[in-house]
Structure 1
Amino acid sequence: MDLITFLLLLSSVLPVKDSTPLLLADPTIFTWEGKHYAYGTNGANANLGIPVYTSTDLVHWTDKGFALKKGEAFGERGFWAPQVFRHGKKFYMAYTANESIAIAVSDHPEGPFRQQLHRRLPGSSRQIDPFVFFEEGKAWLYHVRVDSGNRIFTGQLNDDLTDFVPGTLQECIRAGTGWENTNGASWPVAEGPTVIKKDGRYYLFYSCNDFRNIDYAVGIAEADSPQGPFRRIPQNPVISRHNTGANGSGHGDVLFSEGKWYYVFHIHFDEKKVGPRRTVLMEMKWNDALPEVLPATFRRLRAVRE
C-alpha cells in the first residue's frame, strides 16, 4: 500500500471532529436507557452552570452543552460537584452553588434542570458535594459541611427533598492523619462522598487532602447502616497517584454498567499544573467483599462537540 492510499484509508476511519480531553472535575456518570451522561465541575466556566456529555460506550463522549444553566436554578457562582438521580418520574440534580447545596429537576437526564423557586437546602454552615442515596423509601443526603475542616455528614431529606428531617444529621467521616492529611494541614479535608450498598453493607467512598495536593486520594469506609458508624478499611487509600500514575487522583463516583464496576474521578492536568482537571475512569472488582480498583484499566476520557 502506497502512502497516499494509506492516508486516505486512515482519514476514512478517523472521526471528522478532533477530540479533546474531557475536563470535568468532581465527575459523576448517570446511566439511563442505554446512554451514559457525564456531569462535573466545569473548571474556568464553573460560574456558568453544570455541563453534560453523553456516550453509549463510556469511550466516545459528546459535548451537549449545559444541563443546568445559571439563572434557571439556585446560584450565581461556583457550580460544583453534581449528582443526578431518578426519583418518581423525574430526574434530579443535586449540586453545589454559592457554597450551598440545591436540588433541581428535569424531565430528561440531559436537562435542562431547573427550580421553580430558586432556593438552597437550609444549613447552619457552608455545604458542598451532595450525594443522595435512597434506602427503604428514605432519601439520605451525604454532603460536606465546611466547618472546622471539610467533614462528611449525612441526614435524611424530607419527602420533597427541600430540607433535612430534624434529628437525623450525623457526622460520617472527618480527615485524620497519614494519607488523609499528608501536609499536616490545620484545615483537614474529607470530601466527595459516594455511597453504595452491596450484599447488605454500605460503602462510603471519600477523598482527602486539598484537591491541589498531589496526594489527593480516595478511601473507603464501610458500615452496617446508611447512618454509620463508618469504619475505614485497612487498604486505604484505594486510589492515589501511586496506583494511577497521576497527581491529584480523587473525588469521583461509582458506576455499575453491563456487569462491570467503575470509579470515575479527576486528576491534575499534568505533573506541573493542577487545572483544568482531567476526567478519568478505572474499573473495579470485588475482592473478599471489598472493592479493588484495577490500575491497568485507567484511561483518560475524551470528547467531541456536536
Structure 2
Amino acid sequence: MKKIAIVVTSFCFLVACSQEKAGAPVKEAETKAQAKVNTILLADPTIFHDKGTYYLYGTTTGNVNGEGFQVYTSPDLKAWNGPVGAQNGLALKKGDSFGDKGFWAPQVIAYKDKFYMIYTANENIATAVSDSPLGPFKSVTKEPIIKTGNQIDPFVFIDDNGKKYLYYVRLTNGNRIFVAEINDDLQSIKQETLTECISGTLPWENTENTNWPVTEGPTVVKHNGLYYLIYTANDFRSIDYAVGYATSKSPLGPWEKSKNSPIISRKNTNQNGIGHGDIFFDKDQKMHYVLHTHFSSSEVSPRKAAIIDVEFSGNELKAVNNTFHFLNN
C-alpha cells in the first residue's frame, strides 16, 4: 500500500507496507502539490458520511505521517476543506494512540453513540474513540487488538444480525487477508473464528512474480445476500496495483474470486498504482470507491486521493466508466 523513500525496516520494504517517509521534506511535498493544483495527498483513503458531511481520512504524506491522521471535510464530495482535525488538523495524534510511527489506513465508523477509528500503527491494529468525526480520537488501552505477529489494513464490517467482523492483512508469506469476529468493545477478536480469506495467487495479483505476493486494503459490502470482499493486489509501487473482488455466502468465507477482476486499474483510469481504498455510500445511497494513485507516471509518492463510482449489475460489481476524478481542496 503505499515514495520518495519508505520509512521501514528491510522486512517492511519487502512486504510493501503502506506509508510515506516520516521526515520527508515538506517543501518538496508542497511543491509537488502546487504543481498538481490542489489535489489532496493521501494514501489508503476512506470516506465516512455523517449528518450531511463527508469526512476524508488516510495515510498522510510527509512529516505528518509519524504524527497521526489528518481529516478533510466536504458537504458534496466536490469541495474539500482541510485538514480540519481537532488537533492542528489531526483527528488522531501520536500520544493519544497506540504506537508512535507508521500511522496507516484508518477506518471510521459510528457505533454506540460514539465514533470509532480502527487504524494501523507500528504494524499492528488498534482502536480509538471520539465524540466527533473530527476527533480528538483517543485509544483507551493503547494496546493492539491482536498481540502476536504483524498486521495492517483493518476494516470492521457490521452484519445485519449485529455480528461484527475485523478484516485485515497479516504479514506472513505475503500480504494475506484474514478475518475474525471482533468483540463488542472493538478491542479484541474471537480467536477461534480467525480465518484466512485470500492471498495473491492469480496472474493479475502478482504481475512481477515476486516471492511475497500482495493482497491488501480489504473492504466488505453485502448485496443480495452475498458478501463482497474488495481488495487491492500487487506491490503499491507497481503500476499494476489494482482493485478486484471476491464473493462469499458467509462473512468468514470461503471466498470465490471474480473472473472480472481487476475492476479498477490503470486500464480504465489512466492512472498508475491505483487502489487501496474503501467503498462508501453518499447521501443518495449511490456507491463510490475512494482510492489513491501514484503521484505521476514517473513518481510513486506522495500519493493522490481520488474517487470512482461503482455499481452492481446483477451480482457483478463493476466500475462506472468516466467517473474517475481526483479530490481537490
Compute the TM-score of the two structures, normalised by the length of structure 2: 0.85
Moved more, 36-45 or 265-274: 36-45
Which residue of the partner structure matches residue 8 of structure 1?
none
User: Are 1:177 and 1:184, in contact at CA under 8 Å, matched by a contact in 2?
Assistant: no
* Amino acid across the alignment from 2:56: A
- Measure, in 1, the Cα distance between the counterparts of 2:179 and 2:309: 27
Query: Pick from 240, 251, 272: which aligns with 1:215?
Result: 240
Q: Say which SS state the counterpart of residue 167 (structure 1) adopts.
A: helix
CA RMSD across the alignment: 1.2
> Is 1:104 matched with 2:128?
yes
* Amino acid across the alignment from 2:157: F
| CA deviation profile, 1:264-304 (whole Å, cap 9, x unmatched) | 1000000010000000101112112222111301101111x
Which residue of the partner structure matches residue 264 of structure 1?
290
Which residue of the partner structure matches residue 90 of structure 1?
114
- Measure, in 2, the Cα distance between the counterparts of 1:60 and 1:53: 10
Q: How many residues align?
A: 286
CA displacement at 1:256 relative to structure 2: 1.1
- Measure, in 2, the Cα distance between the counterparts of 1:286 and 1:276: 32
- Measure, in 2, the Cα distance between the counterparts of 1:138 and 1:285: 25
CA displacement at 1:124 relative to structure 2: 2.3
Query: Pick from 164, 181, 201: which aligns with 1:156?
Result: 181
Which residue of the partner structure matches residue 104 of structure 2?
80
Question: Which protein shows a greater Rg?
Answer: 1
Q: Say which SS state the counterpart of residue 242 (structure 1) adopts.
A: helix
* Amino acid across the alignment from 1:47: G
* Amino acid across the alignment from 1:275: S
Q: Say which SS state the counterpart of residue 179 (structure 1) adopts.
A: helix
Query: Pick from 242, 262, 271: which aligns with 1:237?
Result: 262
Which residue of the partner structure matches residue 215 of structure 2?
190
Identity %: 49
Which residue of the partner structure matches residue 281 of structure 1?
307
> Is 1:70 matched with 2:102?
no
- Measure, in 2, the Cα distance between the counterparts of 1:265 and 1:177: 22
Compute the TM-score of the two structures, normalised by the length of structure 1: 0.91
Moved more, 264-273 or 253-262: 253-262
Q: Say which SS state the counterpart of residue 302 (structure 1) adopts.
A: coil
- Measure, in 2, the Cα distance between the counterparts of 1:36 and 1:47: 24
* Amino acid across the alignment from 1:157: I
Which residue of the partner structure matches residue 290 of structure 1?
316
Q: Say which SS state the counterpart of residue 262 (structure 2) adopts.
A: coil
Q: Say which SS state the counterpart of residue 86 (structure 1) adopts.
A: strand
> Is 1:60 matched with 2:79?
yes
Which residue of the partner structure matches residue 12 of structure 1?
none
Moved more, 254-263 or 241-250: 254-263
Which residue of the partner structure matches residue 48 of structure 2?
30
* Amino acid across the alignment from 1:155: A
- Measure, in 1, the Cα distance between the counterparts of 2:146 and 2:288: 33
CA displacement at 1:19 relative to structure 2: 6.3
> Is 1:173 matched with 2:198?
yes
> Is 1:117 matched with 2:141?
yes
| CA deviation profile, 1:142-184 (whole Å, cap 9, x unmatched) | 0000011100000011221211113100000101131100000
CA displacement at 1:204 relative to structure 2: 0.4
* Amino acid across the alignment from 1:145: R
Q: Which runs of 4+ in 1 moved over 4 A?
A: none
- Measure, in 1, the Cα distance between the counterparts of 2:264 and 2:186: 32
> Is 1:302 matched with 2:328?
yes
User: Are 2:126 and 2:139, in contact at CA under 8 Å, matched by a contact in 1?
Assistant: no
CA displacement at 1:137 relative to structure 2: 1.9
- Measure, in 2, the Cα distance between the counterparts of 1:166 and 1:148: 20
Which residue of the partner structure matches residue 49 of structure 1?
68
User: Are 1:217 and 1:240, in contact at CA under 8 Å, matched by a contact in 2?
Assistant: yes
User: Are 2:221 and 2:229, in contact at CA under 8 Å, matched by a contact in 1?
Assistant: yes
- Measure, in 2, the Cα distance between the counterparts of 1:288 and 1:235: 14
User: Are 1:29 and 1:36, in contact at CA under 8 Å, matched by a contact in 2?
Assistant: yes
